[in-house]
Structure 1
Amino acid sequence: MAGTETHHILQRPDFDRPVKLLIVVAPYYKDIADDLVAGARAEIEAAGGGWDIAEVPGALEVPTAIAIADRSSNYDGYVALGCVIRGETTHYDTVCNDSSRAIQLMGLQGLCIGNGILTVENREQAVVRADPAQMNKGGGAAAAALHLVALSRKWGGQKTGAGFRPPQDTIRLAGDAKGNPTA
């Protein structure tokens, strides 16, 4: 059914200054991860961006690596890649739900993350979704991150002088030159 659906794809954003993304990938299924990374790299490069890559053991570690990178590096955004294939136990549900939830929470805190962690029933579904010549979910995740970076840059400079919040540089408190309160 998915093959007969049509989807609207947003036009690739333009950037007035370089953008750099960190691709965090869990290569548990190496061939699938390689295709996801190839799609992500191609999309980032097509937008004129740069990228670095970090590998982690599994999908549960992807959000943690992004959080560490955000605290200690200077990336504009992140691409989360990996693959979780349903097995015989409930571990699949835990990994899918927890990795997705952690990525979503970081996004709600302002990080620009494209989630390309595949959650599939079988290997065949993963291969089709990862292949850059087919569904290209790695490229889609990179595109999502790039769009979020573009929005962040567009809206990032509009925090002063809007609404009821006064611009920070016009707030003056009574005090001497060193900031000590005066009577």
Structure 2
Amino acid sequence: MAGHETHYTLPRAVFDKPVKILIVVAPYYKDIADNLVAGAKAEIEAAGGTWDLVEVPGALEIPTAIGIAGRMGNFDGYVALGCVIRGETTHYDTVCNDSSRAISLLGLQGQCIGNGILTVETRPQAEVRADPAGQNKGGGAAAAALHLVALARKWGTASKGVGFKPASEEYRLAGSTKGTPSA
């Protein structure tokens, strides 16, 4: 039974300078969201980091908020938290797939995101996963974000661009010598 399995957990990430994480939560199921947030906050603080918290209407808005914060904010990483419980319509599939896909795309663009959006069949499944004293998926999502921030810091700032390089102050046109334009 899955509830009795043990899983390897990476040691907590260690930082030489503080980390600032944005927790983005969709509190549709408020009690579940509160537990996810509590787990995430505790993990971030245990790693010596600080956090800000923003609420959005639903799971589909989480990636948009992270994208905006990535462009306009000053965060090292992000924790995406929420809960989607299967209902009677296909809306569940849309919300699960599209929120996950958008978070993955943001990650591929360089954002350090821990995805803690629960996708479950029943409320009891969500309660067990969200419980900070239980499966603590909020803490796990924060740990994932922190590990990605640690990797980003280890590898340094982006030095390799894609596409064209901007022209430097000094350049030479083919067939000319420095300082004399070719005619």
**So what's the TM-score if we normalise by structure 1?**
0.88
One of 172, 175, 180 as aligned partner of 1:174: 172
- Structure 1 residues 158 and 93: alpha-carbon distance in aligned structure 2, compared to 1, 3 A threshold: closer
2:105 matches 1:119: no
The alignment-based identity, stated in percent, is 75
TM-superposition CA deviations, 1:136-175 (whole Å, max 9, x none): 0000000000000000000124737xxxxxxx9x995239
Aligned position for 2:142: 142
* Structure-to-structure mapping, 1:49-88, within 5 angstroms: 49-88=49-88
Aligned-partner SS, 1:102: helix
Aligned position for 2:94: 94
Extract unaligned runs of 5+ from structure 2.
161-165
TM-superposition CA deviations, 1:45-99 (whole Å, max 9, x none): 0000000000000000000000011111110000000000000000000000000
- Structure 1 residues 29 and 159: alpha-carbon distance in aligned structure 2, compared to 1, 3 A threshold: same
Aligned position for 2:128: 128
Output the CA distance in 2 between the equivalents of 1:103 and 1:81.
11
TM-superposition CA deviations, 1:91-150 (whole Å, max 9, x none): 000000000000000001110000000000000000000000000000000000000000
Aligned-partner SS, 1:106: helix
Aligned position for 1:110: 110
Output the CA distance in 2 between the equivalents of 1:145 and 1:59.
18
Length, aligned pairs only? 171
Output the CA distance in 1 between the equivalents of 2:109 and 2:72.
16
Output the CA distance in 2 between the equivalents of 1:54 and 1:118.
18
* Structure-to-structure mapping, 1:3-82, within 5 angstroms: 3-82=3-82
TM-superposition CA deviations, 1:4-34 (whole Å, max 9, x none): 2111000001101110000000000000000
Q: Which amino acid aligns with 2:120?
A: V
- Structure 1 residues 110 and 158: alpha-carbon distance in aligned structure 2, compared to 1, 3 A threshold: closer
Aligned-partner SS, 2:45: helix
Aligned-partner SS, 2:143: helix
Aligned-partner SS, 1:60: helix
Output the CA distance in 2 between the equivalents of 1:67 and 1:83.
20
Extract unaligned runs of 5+ from structure 1.
161-167
Aligned position for 2:159: 159
